[in-house]
A and B are shown apart, each in its own frame.
Chain A
Amino acid sequence: MIRVVLLALVLALTSIGVRAAEAPPAADDPVIEARLHRLSTELRCLVCQNETLADSRADLANDLRREIRDMMKAGRSDREITEFLVARYGDFVLYRPPVKSTTLFLWGGPFALFATGAAVWFVLLKRRQRRAPDAPLTPEEQRLAESLLDTDHGRNRS
């Protein structure tokens, strides 16, 4: 039985391999393809905006991957290629936009919110501390407390 399952698994896996090899246009240079994949996971597809350029099957994404591949073959650096895309599509193509005046709120916002929250929390704690001072008990209260504790104690013992 186990042997049958294993055989089925092996068959299934090899068939996946075969299909994957058939799918995209032949990856002629594995080094460039790896570089292309690495770079394009950092880039946003403009058509389906929540997908990376690496994942997207949109027509434009195909074209852009072709452009990037050509530029890589022409010996351009990742930085130059990124600049090429930003010049055309803006910082929006970058999943990690650079820190500058227009993105300051984006980058600083979470920290500012955290600082505000921490400050509010700190002030509230301080205020609460001030509101409930540890007033010493009057002798009468002391006696009452002791008698209560005593009775409790006594009840437990009986």
Chain B
Amino acid sequence: MSRFVIPLVAFAILVGFLFVGLGLNPREVPSPLVDKPAPAIQLAQLHAPEKSFTLADMKGRVWLLNVWASWCVSCRDEHPFLMELAKENTIPIVGLNYKDKRDDAVKWLAQFGNPYRLSIVDADGRTGINFGVYGVPETFVIDRDGVIRYKQIGPLSAEKWQQTILPLVKKLSA
């Protein structure tokens, strides 16, 4: 009997592994930056190039850093949700305009709406590299002390927000 049972069990385990593997997204690489202090930012603002932005500007607040670009197709998918989130006013969103042209970025926001408290310009992508950005859009939840608490790779959605990010934000703001 065990002659048949053992290979069958082994096969079932293999199928289990493969099935779980099917559901995983290989593009979602766990970030080593989670629970570490956010890398320093020193960038010009999109709408006010003469003004700069640093992490210290957001100290004492829980906030979102959303990496976006006018050339990014998924950002357009994500955008309506960000607009909704901005309307609710639960959390400030700072946009990191990644490897974009200033004119295109400004036009994009004018056309679709601007959910960001402010956007900062990372034209050469160096700040993006420091944040380990590899697929736009990406969103970081940063706590009051400037520590990254969560990284979302790919577009945010209402579902993801309700299930994972909002509870975390509430916990951090408490």
Q: How far is the CB of A86 from chain B (nearest CB, A)?
A: 7
Name the one of B31, B99, B125, B135 contacting A47, with C-beta atoms under 8 angstroms.
B135
B interface footprint on A29-59 (CB within 8 Å = 1, 0 otherwise): 0000000000000000011010000000001
A100: Cβ under 8 A from any B Cβ: no
A63: Cβ under 8 A from any B Cβ: yes
B125 touches A88 (CB 8 A): no
B125 touches A92 (CB 8 A): no
B129 touches A63 (CB 8 A): yes
B16: Cβ under 8 A from any A Cβ: no
A: number of interface residues (CB 8 Å): 14
A46 to B29, CA, bound (A): 9
Are A88 and B30 also in contact (CB < 8 A) when A46-B134, A47-B134, A47-B135 are?
Answer: no
Name the one of B29, B32, B125, B132 contacting A63, with C-beta atoms under 8 angstroms.
B125
B135 touches A88 (CB 8 A): no
Q: Which of B94-116 contact A (CB under 8 A)?
A: 99
Closest to B33 in A: A88
A87: Cβ under 8 A from any B Cβ: yes
A86 to B32, CA, bound (A): 8
A60: Cβ under 8 A from any B Cβ: yes
B interface footprint on A60-91 (CB within 8 Å = 1, 0 otherwise): 10011001000000000000000000111110
Q: How far is the CB of B85 from chain A (nearest CB, A)?
A: 27
B26 touches A49 (CB 8 A): yes
A47 to B125, CA, bound (A): 14
A59 to B33, CA, bound (A): 22
Q: How far is the CB of A59 from chain B (nearest CB, A)?
A: 7
Closest to B130 in A: A88
CB pairs A–B below 8 angstroms (20 shown): A46-B29, A46-B135, A47-B135, A59-B99, A59-B125, A60-B125, A60-B134, A63-B99, A63-B126, A67-B126, A67-B129, A86-B32, A87-B33, A88-B32, A88-B130, A89-B29, A89-B31, A90-B29, A90-B132, A92-B29
